[in-house]
Amino acid sequence: MYRLHAWFLRRPGIGDGAWAMGLFLLGWWAAAGRPGPVGPPQLGCLAVGCGFAVLMLVRRRHPGLAVLGGIALGFGQLAVGAGPGPLQVGCLVLARWAGCFGSPRVALAALAGALAVGPLAVARGLADGGLGSFSAGQLLLVSVTYPVPFLLCWAWGLWSRARRAELAALADRAATARAALAREAVRARMAEELHDVITHDLTAMTVQAGGARYVLPVNPRLAGEAVHGIGDQGRRVLTELARLERVLSS
């Protein structure tokens, strides 16, 4: 299951195409279920289904436009009296998309649309006569519970956004930690090299100093050359120390 999910994540166009085809078929099914000859109600259902299909295809590139278009189509579906299929599926997908990828204004617009859909659906049902036998309490219950799926999908989108931001922050911290470890490893290697260089040069200087002390009474010239070599060796050590200090401080 994880491999299948990862495969779809690498190919988002396939999932969007499947959603588009499914919503188009739902629109066609809603149109076919309308009684009477072909007219504005049937054409309205087809238009809503086609609209949601198009929004599924453009939602990744234009998330704000897709969400606002979904809100308009949802209200338009209520206006034409279309069936609940595309509204409950397409709007649910776009409600999550608004919470997950939409800007703050788009997310708030989706929330407002989700809150308004309950009273509007009740008003449409009363106009059509489908809710005429309901009491005031039942109408209030329908008005309150109808938006719940949309609100849950919207909240799911917000959770997904927060989770994605948390994972991105963890990835950034991991990258920073890896870079710090790499720098520390380089500095440790340079410190080891510096220790080897200083040990080698100090050993050579100690040997030269001991030799100069022994030959000084016998051959002062050779002792002077040894002392001169000690000075050159010391200057080389200081130069190497300065170079490594610049590298470590960079």
What are the tens digits of pLDDT across the range 89-131? 888 899 999 999 888 899 999 999 889 888 888 887 777 776 7
Q: What CATH code is carried by the domain that includes residue 215?
A: 1.20.5
Looking at the fold, whether 189 and 240 belong to one and the same domain comes out as yes
The reply to whether 58 and 141 lie within a common domain is: yes
* Phi and psi at residue 169, to the nearest 5°: -65, -40
- Asked whether residue 155 is assigned to any structural domain, the reply reads no
Specify the pTM.
0.70
Q: Is residue 48 part of a domain?
A: yes
Q: Residue 14 domain-assigned? A: yes
User: What's the pLDDT score for residue 32?
Assistant: 75
- pLDDT tens digits, residue range 190-204? 777 777 777 777 777
Q: Which of 122, 146, 170 is the last residue of a domain?
A: 146
Examine the domain organization and report whether 34 and 133 are in the same domain. Answer: yes
Q: Where are the alpha helices (DSSP H) in 129-219?
A: 136-145, 148-215
- Specify whether 214 is located in the same domain as 133: no
Indicate whether 185 and 138 sit together in one domain: no
For residue 152, give every residue at least 6 positions away whose Cβ sits within 8 Å of its Cβ, in sequence order, or none: none
Q: Tokens in use for 95?
A: 């409600």
**DSSP characters over 18-67:** HHHHHHHHHHHHHHHTS-SSSSHHHHHHHHHHHHHHHHHHHTTT-HHHHH
Instruction: Report if residue 240 sits inside a domain.
Output: yes
How many separate domains does the chain show? 2
Average pLDDT over residues 221-240: 75
Same domain, 223 and 122: no
**Contacts for 121 with CB less than 8 Å, ≥ 6 apart:** 78, 142, 143, 146
Contact predicate 88/70, CB 8 Å: no
Q: Give a yes or no: residue 170 inside a domain.
A: no
Instruction: Indicate whether 192 and 97 sit together in one domain.
Output: no
Is 18 a member of any domain?
A: yes
Residue 56 CA to residue 18 CA, distance in Å, equals: 9
Predicted local confidence at residue 249, as pLDDT: 67
Q: What is the DSSP letter of 225?
A: H
Considering the domain boundaries, does residue 162 fall inside one? no
Q: Is the Cβ–Cβ distance between 70 and 20 less than 8 Å?
A: no
Could you say which of 98, 127, 146 is where a domain stops? Answer: 146
Range of 234's domain? Answer: 181-249
| CA 230 distance to own-chain centroid | 62
Does residue 153 fall inside a structural domain? no
Rounded Cα distance between 48 and 147, Å, is 19
Identity of the residue numbered 205: M
Q: Within 13 Å of residue 1, how many CA atoms lie on the same side as its CB?
A: 0
State whether 135 and 188 are in the same domain: no
